[in-house]
Amino acid sequence: MGAFEIPPFDAATTALARAVAAKTQNDGVMSVAGGGDTMAALANAGVNDQFSYVSTAGGAFLEWLEGKRLPGVEALRID
Flag whether 2 is in a domain. Answer: no
pTM of the model: 0.77
pLDDT tens per residue across span 43-76: 999 999 999 999 888 888 888 889 998 888 889 8
Domain count, the chain: 1
Flag whether 38 is in a domain. Answer: yes
Identify the domain containing residue 35 by its residue range. 11-74
Instruction: Please give the pLDDT value at position 17.
Output: 97
pLDDT tens per residue across span 33-45: 988 899 999 999 9
Classify residue 23 as exposed, middle or buried by CB count within 10 Å of its CB (0-12, 13-18, 19+).
middle
DSSP helix, strand, coil percent of the chain (3-state; round to 5): 50, 10, 45
Flag whether 4 is in a domain. Answer: no
Flag whether 36 is in a domain. Answer: yes
